[in-house]
Amino acid sequence: MTELDRRSFLGRGLATTGGVLASGVAIETLTAHASWADAGRPAAGAHRAGYGPPARTPSKNTGEELLALPAGFSYVVLGRTGTTMTDGVATPIAHDGMAAFPGTRRHTVRLIRNHEVRTAPGSPVGRVLVEGSARYDELGVAGTTTLEVDLRSGEVLRHFVSLNGTIVNCAGGRMLHDRGWLTCEETTAGVAQGWRRKHGYIFQVPLNGPEPGRPAPSQPLTAMGRFSHEAVAVDPRTGYVYETEDDSGKPDGFYRFRPRDPRDLAAGGVLEMLKVKGADGYDCREGQTMGARIPVEWVRIDDPDPDLENGAQTCTQQGLAKGGAMFNRLEGCWYGDGSIFFNSTSGGDAKNGDAPGADGYREGYGQVWRYVPGRRDGGTLVLVYESPGRRELDSPDNLTFTPRGGIVLCEDDAGSVDADPHPLAPGLVNVNRLIGLDPRRGQPFEFAVNIADDSEFAGACFSPDGSVLFVNQLGDTVSPDPPGRTYAIRGPWHRGPL
């Protein structure tokens, strides 16, 4: 790509979005969500939602047809697996959860990106590693990388490992006051599986501090729980951290962590699981009504760091024993509109055909939930959207709010029986998409299609000025083929709900 092409691609957004947006504008413009979340049904005219049908689109900087996007949208590829970073390390595999922060210089953005590497202990394949750095587990293969991107030129200014010594870093969330990123391990593996240390924790990646060759020390926040973490979201009014759990084949819980000091999560606190008032073991996975307001309370997890190797009860077992509510594959989690929105990837009454789990539950096509904190009680739970089938929405994973009041859902097709082909991606059996939720109509619409391979979308997030949507293509979690990629998508956002 020439310098002129880069500037024309990434430079137009500052004008088309009406100038630089304030960092808090996303929260301030999300009140529209309440109308359709509480109504529990799509509004009239939902067929007009979105930006029009996607079409196969070549990348501006590589020429490869990797995405299908609506007319007027374009993209570049950043941080592909295998490319050499500023610190001399090869870009790892398995690009997953991510967040965008203001950069260190004007017109720049800093991305902190997870790598869900699932190789064997110490394996060099696609590993996140800086030799000699402070690592929690010397055999850890996963972690995070940080990219600094110039929004005008599209150039990656710096790209380096910002945390290593962990495993299976799936998603996470922004720290209080945007001081950095909370990265989550989606596993409870330990010494019995060949690692030096036990895993299943949340780690902090400061926004400022890590530099090329000097990643942040990886220290687990054990009071926040040891379980198969997926994502977190922080309520800026209280500092409470809400956490999702994704342990396939078993009921999962929705948690909150009440820290002693919201500015110092390492100081400890109380871990709790959501419970529906007056209904022990309430099953949120099916039989629910969109828009119904469900009063909830919270039960304490007495042992947030269980010794699983010696038969201790898991955090999930502890919470369910006290009547905690059951979900299925809780994944993406985001704060907005004074609420916490989160996805149940395989919840819902419309089933995908897979064999039932250990407790007999058959997976659905996905749910989007909203938790509204209460001032004098435990708060309220609302089912915002439930997919009636794969065409509308198939297995929502990560999610993000947009500066204009919409929601973007990253699909991670979880079904192994129900094939999910797409006319724009011939030859692929399970195709993943970015699905938008229109706050005015409450209707999902197809925004982007991964036409490169069958890996999931992950880590969707907007630049602070609202001009660029960054999103990852996971690639493979144990090999460099297919590779992980980060996309920067630019277009006429003002023409639609995202």
pLDDT on residue 358: 82
Which residue ranges make up each domain of the chain?
A: 3-495
pLDDT tens column, 288-340: 999 999 999 999 999 999 999 999 999 999 999 999 999 999 999 999 989 99
pLDDT on residue 269: 98
pLDDT on residue 18: 26
pLDDT on residue 35: 42
Q: Is 230 helix (H, G, I), strand (E, B) or coil?
A: strand
Rounded distance between C-alpha atoms, residue 315 and residue 172, angstroms: 18
Say how many C-beta atoms besides its own lie within 10 A of residue 480's C-beta: 18
DSSP H stretches of helix in 279-393? 315-321
pLDDT tens column, 26-49: 323 333 443 434 443 333 333 357
pLDDT on residue 337: 86
Radius of gyration of the chain (CA): 21
Low-confidence ranges of the chain (pLDDT < 70): 1-48, 414-415, 442
Q: Tell me the backbone φ, ψ of residue 222, rounded to 5 degrees.
A: -65, -30
Tokens coding 45: 């005219």
Q: Look up the CATH number of domain 3-495.
A: 2.120.10.30
Say how many C-beta atoms besides its own lie within 10 A of residue 213's C-beta: 15
Element (H or E) spanning 146, and its range? strand 142-150
pLDDT tens column, 57-108: 999 999 999 999 999 999 999 999 999 999 999 999 999 999 999 998 889 9
* Residue in the block written with tokens 């907007």: 462
What single-letter amino acid sits at 256? R
